[in-house]
Structure 1
Amino acid sequence: MRRTAPFFAGLLALPLVLAGCDDEPAAEPETPATQEPAEEPTAEAEATEPPGPPEDNSEACARMVMVAWQGAAHAPETITRSKEEARERAEALRARVEGGEALAEVAREESDAPSSAARGGAIGTFAREDWPALHGALEEPLFAVGVGALTPVIEADYGYAFAERCAVEKVHTRHILVRYAGAKNAGEEIERTQEEALALTRQLRERIDGGEDFAEVAREHSEDGSAERGGDLGSVGRGLFQPPFEEAAFALEVGALSEPVETVYGFHLIERLPDGEEDAAE
């Protein structure tokens, strides 16, 4: 019988924000007249150099904070700040991250890019040759820095942005998607309720846990384009899945099957596969 793993539903846990100490330094004690003043420390307090690009610089993961201005591409009508105000705000937000705040937290609270903001600023993991044109302005600055480092604030069509390069982490999964009426991208033919979809997902899980082949059950019941591949989604980096799916997928051990995981598309059963493993059946 396969191993099972608990369902890690909901949004990703928010990173902690490290607060700096704002206390004034204590007054220096007076040096007694009979003693020489203490020598200044000889070690220089130099700023740590940011890490350089990794040896294998062919792929990158990124989190972004974006500040739009009135009239920028895709900017909603609610954005009224000027271009100069947008740049000043972006620089201020970058300074907060440099000062110790987690970029993911700043992105959730402040970024004007709603899709990536909901994922803590994550825009995905891409090979350099597949870098998305939408974020083309970030490509060169991002690939020029190391993991954990920030790019400068750059100007893009949609606003001023800065990004943090994150470590490339991938997970190979296959899944079964059960949609319900009203879920995102559910066709008119989908009439089952949310409760019925959850019940069906649990039934499919019982069949797989009882020994039926995951790929065959996926081909028969999954309601997305991966069904013909037995549900195989390949090896995908962070930032491209819906947050509840991504959290559950990375939490699974290889070979484990998740409990039903709900995203905006419906309910998923997720199985984690070994990295690099090809789908057994075409």
Structure 2
Amino acid sequence: MTPMTDLFKRSTSLRPSHAARLGARRGLCLALSLLIGLGQVTPAMAQIDPDDVPMAAPRIPGARNLSTELKIEGKRVTSDFIVAVVNQEVITHTDVDKRVARIEESVPDRRRLPDPATLRQQVLDALIDEKAQVSFARGIGLSISDAEVDTAIENIAAQNQLTLAELRQRMVSDGLDFERYRGSLREQILLQRLREREVMPRIQVTEEEIDTFLREDPSAQAESNLNLAHILVRVPEGSGELAVRQLQQRAEQIRDRAAVGMNFTQLVRENSEDRDTLESGGAFGLRPASTLPPLFVNAVRGLKVGEVSQVVRSNAGFHIIKLVERENVAQARYTQQRARHILLRTTPKLGATELVAKMKGIRKGIIEGQASFAQMARQHSEDGSGARGGDLGWSSPGQYVPEFEKVLITLQPGEISQPVVSRFGVHLIQLIERREVQLSEAQRRDAARAVLKERGFEAAYEEWARELRQAAWVEIRDEP
């Protein structure tokens, strides 16, 4: 966890809040936008997959997101031993050690953590819950194919700006074992899919609850939802006046570069010290303004979408904030984006690494004016949109797979992304334009239903996890 997280007052408990599990709660209009266009997938838009789940933080009970961290599991140590067995699933001393270490690393202020014995017991309980769920998933025949794991690893390598060979080397230098890493990812994806399948159907929303939400809930009446991105220049505790001035000057220089149109995502990767948002180009995702730090909301007040704020100071350091997207919920409007892409599909002979290199060459040709994006799409793209110059038409938030959408929202009209890896292959994306769209009453009700189902996930998950834990055979073993 970075100093930035203090602004959001995130919980340090091992069972994360609903906000930690789902990302911040989405506003009414965003929830609707997740529903728009479902079932309308065509060959020309093959990268769209509304059933995909966003990729973010690691495996804690209830987490619906997939970790893109490289330090998930390390090598077994020779002195390792079993501390618990859940049905046929084993938990080792090393498993507990590594989870404890990861939590301690994420919370610099140890005073916010329970005492070591309590923390270790909570971690063990969390792992028991996970193993009970893994056992259940296997019992009902749910499994994750090698191809799905390979795609996840290729995407993680790309998000960490690494080739597969570089990722393997990084693991060796960090003392990680590649096969255990694959096993950890497979288990994460399995749990992710199981929880979506088993928990969401338990959540029922009545028409009366929707009426009450639309009439009374602040989330339905809020002025706006905001998607903000930021660059953090951290100010270490105890920094002297001179050091603070130098850091502020550095932040001002970064802000000046962003203000004249330099790629904000690239500036984030090169400068931001908030590791939680590095992979998303500094973006927090669309959230109700009331859930964002007032400092940030005030900084972008009066800005147009795409503009950056002046440098602002928080307890964490100096921030440069970009207004990526704004929704006016009271007027029931949301933002659509029109984009085009080039898709190169992976094959047994051509993996993502080779295709990323080829796509960089295509991008270079477009940037240098050798051909237009549309011409390159017609020549190279391997889906139905190629004949239309890669044009995907208008889309709503949540309509594309997360890897694709995460990059799309960071682009300015006309801007071309770096190669993006998804389960469908390697994409090159260009944003054409954005627009605001009015919602119908039926769409507002669908959106309200989605928001209420998300709010109900916490309680439904806890009940389901408790049932699996009670039904599982659990043996706790003493240390040798």
TM-score normalised over the length of structure 1: 0.42
More helix by share: 2
TM-score normalised over the length of structure 2: 0.27
